Amino acid sequence: MLRLWIAPAEAVLCGCLLGQSPTPLPAFEVASIKRSAPGAAGATMRLDPGGRFTTVSMTMKNVIQLAYGVRQDDVVGGPAWLNTEEYDIRAKADSEDASQVTLERQKLRLRSLLADRLRLKVHNEPRRQPAYALILSQHGPKMPSAHQGSRPGRSMSMSMLASFLSLQVGRPVLDNTGLSGTYLVKLEWASEDGHRKTLGGDSANSPLSEDPVNGPSIFTAVQEQLGLRLQPKQALREVLVIDEVSRPSAN
């Protein structure tokens, strides 16, 4: 699992537009890219004050995803090693640019680094992909409306719920419920490996918990517990197509 660390009050998380910028991108002053040591810990990304940027044990597919602010399954094409070989990146902005330590700006610097060291070339392209529409079931929603003072771990808009479900089912989920406002969501289901997962519950600080016990699939749980349904569909989405890429060049 990818772990993200950002220095508090020094960075702002925000998305980047896809595609190539018409103006020169900001670049790191110094940067190294090396293969990760065997058996290294799980993938991490760290953004520090002073313009320092570090990744550990990340595949280049993950790095490209990060640089362009897209989902991993929205990056298509490229050789197999993008998904298997892991790399460490250590980079630093120059002193004049170091004060602008936002994740957005670091993404732009990272694009420059990928273009320079990997000869990365990409383009955007609309493609039809498998997705799900989140719709009302026959008898309507079973979720109560959220009220003032509701625990934040349970209060969700339907767009938030759709985004969460997308992570669980591995496909985009589009909110087609027509429901506005926020609702108290509590959902319990069994993952494919037989573990019980819970969204909502009593702890605002732990909205998703996991226990080893059987239960309904997430599709059944959404319908029976929330009064909603996940309906398969094809959706037109912008994807990032890799046109050209090489293994990282020497520092």
> Helix or strand or coil: residue 227?
coil
Which class for 209: exposed (0-12), middle (13-18), buried (19 or more C-beta within 10 A)?
A: middle
Is the domain of 146 the same as that of 116?
no
* pTM: predicted TM-score of the whole model, two decimal places: 0.62
Q: Please, what's the b/e burial string for 138-168 (b: 16 or more CB within 10 A of its CB; e: otherwise)?
A: eeeeebeebeeebeebbbbbbeebbebbbeb
Is the domain of 33 the same as that of 108?
yes
**What is the extent of the structural domain holding 25?**
3-125+240-244
- pLDDT for residue 203: 43
Within-domain flag for 136: no
Dig out the tokens for 33 from the structure. 């890219």
Is the domain of 195 the same as that of 96?
no
- pLDDT for residue 209: 58
- pLDDT tens, the chain, 251 aa long: 444 433 332 333 333 444 454 567 788 889 999 998 887 666 787 877 667 888 888 999 999 998 998 887 789 999 999 999 999 999 988 776 656 667 788 888 899 999 999 999 999 999 998 999 999 999 889 998 887 555 556 788 999 999 999 989 988 899 999 999 899 999 999 988 788 888 886 544 345 556 656 789 999 999 999 999 999 999 998 999 999 999 997 66
- pLDDT for residue 22: 56
Is the domain of 181 the same as that of 157?
yes
- pLDDT for residue 134: 97
- pLDDT for residue 3: 45
- pLDDT for residue 37: 86
CA distance 167 to 35: 28
Q: Please, what's the b/e burial string for 83-118 (b: 16 or more CB within 10 A of its CB; e: otherwise)?
A: eeebbbbbbbbeeebeeebebebbbbbbbbbbbebb
- pLDDT for residue 251: 61
- pLDDT for residue 51: 76
Within-domain flag for 186: yes
Contact partners, residue 187, CB within 8 Å, separation at least 6:
198, 199, 200, 218, 221, 222, 225, 226
Contact partners, residue 250, CB within 8 Å, separation at least 6:
none
Helix (H) or strand (E) holding 62: helix 60-68
- pLDDT for residue 202: 52
Largest Cα–Cα distance in the chain?
Answer: 61
- pLDDT for residue 6: 35
C-alpha separations of 137 from 37, 149, 152, 223, 240 in Å: 50, 28, 25, 7, 34
Within-domain flag for 233: no
Is the domain of 40 the same as that of 111?
yes
Report how many domains make up the chain: 2
Is the domain of 167 the same as that of 116?
no
